């Protein structure tokens, strides 16, 4: 048990220090932070969002082993994976947010991510909002890489506004602008190695999308996936994140599921959009990412109050790890 009401992910051993994490190939880290004002986020109570990392761990406890029947591989026979607990996010960041305590929360996640990277473990962060569930993972990866860094991003929104809408502080890589901060502050995050998946509809101004296209983005809206590429074609396109890069960061904003997938879209409040990815599509992509390899991954906008949605996250993590295991034994 990580805490009295929270088991470790998949009943894995718990590392309570960097020394205990030595030898692990992957580390599960919790980053329970929610960007909110007045106790609500996108029409859903902030406390429901905040429980996401715990709920994923709780739902993972229903699975008795690391054996993935679909792929005939027992992940934990080939990989040492540990639960590295939660980042020490101050309560004020969640309940009385301002720029200073949000930066403290971000630093707490960065510390855990850096400790995992120090010992050669891939950090997999169960977050909820930015910066703690996105930029706080991307930043350490970029700072350590001597070469270019690719990104594979699953999202409904571009998250590239000019400034954080909650704090209006240029230091904050918030829910609406964290991706812009990656490319503003880290020159080795290269847009030509950004594989952007899932945005759709009328949510962005044309100028923003055109700007990323001019800079060389590989953009796969849901319409193109469904009418032209298919999921296998999309998996092949992930190569662009790896061409000429030293590291790859994987970002899952689970509002990409939108109105599709295993749960009613409306659990996402104001974030639900039609033509969402299905659970299978996200999980299939996760397997491909695991086979190709990745430096770190994180999850935000974990749909609240849906056992099925929490299980999707467990599947995504396990299929990424299964891809790593299959590669290790020469079956990728």
Within 8 A by CB and 6+ apart from 329, the residues are 73, 78
Residue 154 scores a pLDDT above 60: yes
Beta strands in the chain (DSSP E): 26-30, 40-41, 44-45, 67-68, 73-74, 81-86, 122-126, 148-154, 189-197, 218-220, 245-253, 296-300
Q: Share the mean pLDDT of the chain.
A: 94
Q: Which residues pair with 124 in a beta bridge?
A: 28, 297
Q: Residue 320 is encoded by which pair of tokens?
A: 């990424």
Q: Which residues pair with 306 in a beta bridge?
A: none
Give the other-Cβ count within 10 Å of 26's Cβ.
25
Looking at residue 259, its pLDDT comes to 62
DSSP string for 35-81: --BTTEETTEEHHHHHTHHHHHHHHHTT---SEETTTTEEHHHH--E
DSSP string for 231-254: HHHHHHHGGGGTTTEEEEEEEEEG
Give the Å distances, CA to CA, from 106 to 33, 109, 259: 9, 5, 30
Map out the domains of the chain with their CATH numbers: 9-328 (3.40.800.10)
Looking at residue 44, its pLDDT comes to 78
Identify the residue with better confidence: 131 or 42. 131
Residue 300 scores a pLDDT above 80: yes
**For the segment 10-45, what is each residue's pLDDT rounded down to a tens digit?**
999 999 999 999 999 999 999 999 987 678 777 778
| Predicted structure pTM score | 0.95
Is residue 125 very low, low, confident or very high in pLDDT (cuts 50, 70, 90)? very high
Q: Are 251 and 155 in contact (CB under 8 A)?
A: yes
Mean pLDDT within 146-165: 95
Looking at residue 264, its pLDDT comes to 56
Dist CA 212 CA 162 (whole Å): 14
Residue at token pair 């996401």: 52
Q: Kindly give the residue spans of alpha helices, DSSP state H, lying in 119-202.
A: 135-144, 178-185
Dist CA 96 CA 151 (whole Å): 32
Is residue 136 very low, low, confident or very high in pLDDT (cuts 50, 70, 90)? very high
Looking at residue 49, its pLDDT comes to 87
Dist CA 182 CA 185 (whole Å): 6
Q: Are 249 and 226 in contact (CB under 8 A)?
A: no
Q: Are 199 and 217 in contact (CB under 8 A)?
A: no
Q: Residue 95 is encoded by which pair of tokens?
A: 């309940």
Q: Count CA atoms within 13 Å of residue 252 on its CB side.
A: 27
Residue 159 scores a pLDDT above 90: yes
Looking at residue 312, its pLDDT comes to 94
Looking at residue 39, its pLDDT comes to 81
Residue 296 scores a pLDDT above 90: yes
Nearest to 126 by CA among 310, 260, 273, 287: 310
Identify the residue with better confidence: 306 or 11. 11
Mean pLDDT lowest among 67-76, 140-149, 210-219, 261-270? 261-270
- Burial-class residue 188 by CB neighbours within 10 Å (0-12, 13-18, 19+): middle
Q: For residue 282, what is the enclosing H or E element?
A: helix 279-292
Looking at residue 266, its pLDDT comes to 63
The three-state secondary structure class of 121 is coil
Q: Are 259 and 272 in contact (CB under 8 A)?
A: yes
Is residue 103 very low, low, confident or very high in pLDDT (cuts 50, 70, 90)? very high
The three-state secondary structure class of 257 is helix
Q: Residue 144 is encoded by which pair of tokens?
A: 């350590």
Mean pLDDT within 54-76: 96
Q: Residue 199 is encoded by which pair of tokens?
A: 């945005």
């Amino acid at each position: 048990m990580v805490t009295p009401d929270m088991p470790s992910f998949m009943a894995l051993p718990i590392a309570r220090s960097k020394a205990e994490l030595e030898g692990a190939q992957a580390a599960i880290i919790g980053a329970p932070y929610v960007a909110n004002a007045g106790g609500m986020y996108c029409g859903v109570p902030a406390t429901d969002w905040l429980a996401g990392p715990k709920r994923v761990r709780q739902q993972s406890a229903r699975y008795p082993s690391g054996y993935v029947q679909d792929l005939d591989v027992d992940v934990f026979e080939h990989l040492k994976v540990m639960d590295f607990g939660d980042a020490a996010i101050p309560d004020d960041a969640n309940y009385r947010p301002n720029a200073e305590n949000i930066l403290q929360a971000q630093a707490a996640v960065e510390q855990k991510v850096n400790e995992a990277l120090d010992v050669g473990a891939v950090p997999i962060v169960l977050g909820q909002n930015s910066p703690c569930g996105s930029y706080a993972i991307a930043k350490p990866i970029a700072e350590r890489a001597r070469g270019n860094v690719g990104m594979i991003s699953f999202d409904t929104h571009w998250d590239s506004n000019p400034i954080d809408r909650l704090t209006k502080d240029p230091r904050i890589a918030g829910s609406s602008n964290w991706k812009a901060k990656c490319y503003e502050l880290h020159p080795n995050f290269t847009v030509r190695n950004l594989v952007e998946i899932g945005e759709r509809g009328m949510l962005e101004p044309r100028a923003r999308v055109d700007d990323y296209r001019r800079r060389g983005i590989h953009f796969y809206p849901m319409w193109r996936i469904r009418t032209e590429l298919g999921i296998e074609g999309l998996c092949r396109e992930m190569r662009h994140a790896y061409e000429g890069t030293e590291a790859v960061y994987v970002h899952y904003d689970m509002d990409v599921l939108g109105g599709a997938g295993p749960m009613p879209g409306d659990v996402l409040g104001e974030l639900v959009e039609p033509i969402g990815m299905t659970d299978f599509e996200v999980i299939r992509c996760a397997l491909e990412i695991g086979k190709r390899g990745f430096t770190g991954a994180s999850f935000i906008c974990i749909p609240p109050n849906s056992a099925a949605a929490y299980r999707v996250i467990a599947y995504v993590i396990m299929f990424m790890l299964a891809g790593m295991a299959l590669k290790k034994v020469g079956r990728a």
